Amino acid sequence: MVYPLLAGASQWEECWFAFIQHECRLVPEREANYGRKLFLAIFKEKLINLIISFFYLEKWLNMSQEIKPLKKGKKIIEPLESIIETEKQAIRIIEDAKAKAKKIIEDAKIKAQNEYNIAFQETIFKINEEASLIIEEEKRKADFEAKKIIKDTEDKIKDLREKASKKIDEAIKKMLSIILMEE
C-alpha cells in the first residue's frame, strides 16, 4: 500500500491530492476552472472524460507550479491530517493484531507446555503398561514353571515313598540291631 504525500509519493500523486484538496476548497479561482472540470470528468467515469481530465490535469499541474510552496502546503494540510489519522488508525489495527498475535503465541507456548506434559505422560503411561505386561508375562511363565517344579516334586515324593516302603523292613532290622546292641 502506498500512502501518497507521506513517504516517497510521486509528483503526479502529490498533484492528485492537491487537486482533491483544491476541489474541496475551491481556491484560488485560476486553478478552480481546471480542477473542477477534472473532478467532474473523473466522477462521470467516462474514458473520454478521463483522457480529457489528464489533459486538464497537465495544464493544472503546470499552473499549480506557479503557486507558492507555502500556499500549496496550506491547501493540502487538512486531508493529510485525515490520512495521517487513518494511517495511525491502520497502524493501531496492525499493532493490535501484532499484540494479539503475540498473545496467541504466548498462549500457544503455555498450551504447548501443557500438551507436552500430557503427551509425555500419556506416552510414558503406554510404555509403563507395556512394561507391566512384560513383567506380568514373565511372572505368569515363572508361576507355571514353579507349579511344574512342585508337581514334579510331588511325583518324586510318591516314587520315593514307594521305593522306601520296599526297604522299610531292612531299615527296621538295622535299627533293631543298633538298639539291641547287636553291632
Name which of residues 75 to 104 contact other proteins (CB under 8 A): 79, 82-83, 86-87, 89-91, 93-94, 96-98, 100-102, 104
Cβ atoms < 10 Å from Cβ of 35: 25
Least Cβ distance, residue 28 to other proteins (angstroms): 21
- C-alpha pair distances (Å), 43 with each of 14, 35, 38, 47, 157: 19, 12, 9, 11, 117
Q: Which is nearer to other proteins, 66 or 172 (CB)?
A: 172
- C-alpha pair distances (Å), 31 with each of 10, 17, 45, 66: 21, 14, 22, 10
Q: Which stretch binds other proteins (CB under 8 A): 28-36, 47-55, 56-64, 155-163?
A: 155-163
Q: Which is nearer to other proteins, 68 or 166 (CB)?
A: 166
> Out of 30, 33, 154, 155, which residue is the one contacting other proteins (CB under 8 A)?
154
When asked if residue 159 is in the footprint of other proteins (CB under 8 A), the reply is: no
Give Cβ neighbours of residue 60 (< 8 Å, ≥ 6 apart).
15, 19, 31, 34, 35, 38
Q: Which is nearer to other proteins, 58 or 85 (CB)?
A: 85
Q: Produce one character per residue of 59-82: b if its CB has 16 or more CB atoms within 10 Å, e if not.
A: ebbeebeebeeeebeebbeebbee
Least Cβ distance, residue 149 to other proteins (angstroms): 4
Among all chains, which residue has been given the C-alpha cell 543298633? 178
Least Cβ distance, residue 32 to other proteins (angstroms): 18
When asked if residue 175 is in the footprint of other proteins (CB under 8 A), the reply is: yes
